[in-house]
Structure 1
């Protein structure tokens, strides 16, 4: 479908292509936070920000920010952005599209002679992906004032996180305060899933970023000789664990069929003694649970514990109560922003639906300090975090047009509040 867009699809493509070149040539597309390639990508973005007429700075948390003043001092800031770092071997569009689109919105506003009442900022957040220090969303956590102080001492590749933040131009020693001037935050991202492509939709308006809960389950049986121990006299930890995995899949599938996003995955799995001729004596599993609604998480855990009791009894093993490893609740997006995005989709003839995000994003932390919203665009076969990750430039440009329309609407609506 041909559309007359205010944004430049050509500029968007050129920026994404330029950043794609800045990669480990043996592992496309790899540009990890704190690496020389990351700094090279940052230098490209900083120059692009300045060329677009934005004043650039690196904040204390290590985020690259380009801004321009609004007509009404003190009205606050509308911020757009995402991240330019990647996971290893994947990330030609993940994060990058959101930063480039934010920049293009700023360029389109300037070219149209539109001066917002609010200040406008475009942000490349530091280390949204899990970094070499084993933690993620470092920049957005810092901007929201919730980056744990003890993280600064984490070490990797011969440096601490504090030294890494200094390396990118930040100031880890500065007092960490949440920004209180940001009135609204918008982020564009590839969906990283197959829903929009499957339903032939242009845009997903994100309702919430699902909570991420991880629990550990340990199954203990008894090691015996694999050849001489009768099948009905075994306490096979792996056999019981297989029932646990299937129970997780069944219980998660039942909740996934109800309204609201829910998914559970047995992502880590270890067994002992791991020998061909020994009945397994112990299994450790780590479950990753993504829930939009807290009640769904509670129901899943209650049902799972009941299943574990039955599996333990049926298989002659011991299964300890699940141990909570980490628990981050879901973060809803702001109703005003979601409505503005819906209206922007209607104004640009973008076929859309509301949907939750099963993955984490910087917007989850920005939602703690501002009215936040996200838009998803389709990606090929739902693939992401892989070399095959792909999004059509026409889809990215339409997403940029939606964000542009939403910014103009929010600029007026926020002044009326």
Structure 2
């Protein structure tokens, strides 16, 4: 099926430029800038002839009715929110390519048997509420009252945030899809790594999405004057935090040659009093662990703290751990992987199987339906950074494979 690559690229560039001007490429969920992008997207959905609207969780849907209303819909899309300074193509490629597929079908007069739904999931990236994949959690029935009560630093709760973007938090249960409610979900995404580019392969077929665990670790010492407190008498919380960071790095590095290696990151540290002339009395760190090995992900933090506790106690430091979230690894469906492989082969595009080291909405969507993911290369593997970049041809290749995959699934699924 032909797609309009120029239109696809123009839309990608237009949406990416809806950004905080002082910090490109930033369009954070639950902000006026995000709503500006959503308003533009909804207009594009309607202009493409799609039945357009928000569900109760604030997910944006565009619907292209199929010929057989008894068949379950096929769902394609991704997300339009970004991390700070890093979302030029991450997420939006999947949304814009899905829109292009649906519009091209309509323009050709080609009607699928299944209804095709294009989705922009709300807040896939970690939000200021400390939660990611908010819209897809709701679709899976995994967005709880406790989640809705989470508050960001300015006091807004997630319940308020969903209402802010046009959702209906009091009706959140209506956004849930039953386990047999959708025929398949397929998402096109940039790889966010270097495998495809290094091997000069245009299409990646995702085998599984890694598990991700996040924990909040608080190291408590004693705040003192930095000049008047002798070194042997200090209880410096940041020294303890540094030991945690170093030990986590070494432990994760040791798994590099494993069949399912593990990565561990302390990406956020808050220090108090955070003054040049004060010994830190408290350090709050966020530990994130990722791997396809579920047991290793679950055990990493506990093992790290168990082994370091004597060292921290010798430094007169106390340590507390609070789990934030845990998502198990998710396999992509064999049938969808085959459809992607056959689609790419029919277009003369080489493929490679590979896991996704990043989290995606598909982790939650998989609780209700089979999922598949298509990767295209990104420049030097850069993502979540201003340098994130792809070419029009790479975007076009991904959209063509997505379109052909949809056609094959439509023909083969009941």
TM-score, with structure 2 as normaliser:
0.85
- Aligned twin of 1:173: 170
Which has the larger displacement, 53-62 or 29-38? 29-38
User: Secondary structure of 1:407's match?
Assistant: helix
User: Secondary structure of 2:259's match?
Assistant: coil
- Aligned twin of 2:196: 196
For residues 269 and 156 of structure 2, the distance between their equivalents in structure 1, rounded to whole angstroms, comes to 31
Q: How does 1:348-367 map to 2 (within 5 A)?
A: 348-367=347-366
- Aligned twin of 2:2: 6
User: Secondary structure of 1:182's match?
Assistant: coil
- Aligned twin of 1:407: 406
- For the pair 1:130 / 2:126, whether they are aligned, the reply is yes
- Aligned twin of 1:377: 376
For residues 229 and 37 of structure 2, the distance between their equivalents in structure 1, rounded to whole angstroms, comes to 61
Q: Which runs of 5+ in 1 are unaligned?
A: none
Give the C-alpha shift of residue 229 in structure 1.
Answer: 6.7
- Aligned twin of 2:184: 184
In the TM superposition, what whole-angstrom CA distance separates every residue of 1:48-98 from its partner, at most 9, and x where no partner exists?
222222111211111111111212221100010111222332312111111
Q: How does 1:168-247 map to 2 (within 5 A)?
A: 168-174=165-171, 176-177=173-174, 178-180=176-178, 181-217=181-217, 242-247=242-247
User: Number of residue pairs matched?
Assistant: 409
Q: What is the root-mean-square deviation of aligned Cα atoms in Å?
A: 3.2
User: Secondary structure of 1:32's match?
Assistant: coil
- Aligned twin of 1:139: 135
Which has the larger displacement, 222-231 or 387-396? 222-231
TM-score, with structure 1 as normaliser:
0.85
CA separation of 1:32/1:236 partners in 2, compared to 1, >3 Å: closer, same or farther? closer
- 8 Å contact kept, 1:261–1:358: no
- Aligned twin of 1:396: 395
- 8 Å contact kept, 2:57–2:172: no
For residues 139 and 310 of structure 2, the distance between their equivalents in structure 1, rounded to whole angstroms, comes to 47
- 8 Å contact kept, 2:140–2:367: yes
- 8 Å contact kept, 2:212–2:297: no
- 8 Å contact kept, 2:211–2:297: no
CA separation of 1:36/1:254 partners in 2, compared to 1, >3 Å: closer, same or farther? same
Q: How does 1:248-267 map to 2 (within 5 A)?
A: 248-267=248-267
Which has the larger displacement, 272-281 or 129-138? 272-281
The one of 78, 81, 97 aligned to 1:82: 78
- 8 Å contact kept, 1:227–1:277: no
- 8 Å contact kept, 1:244–1:311: no
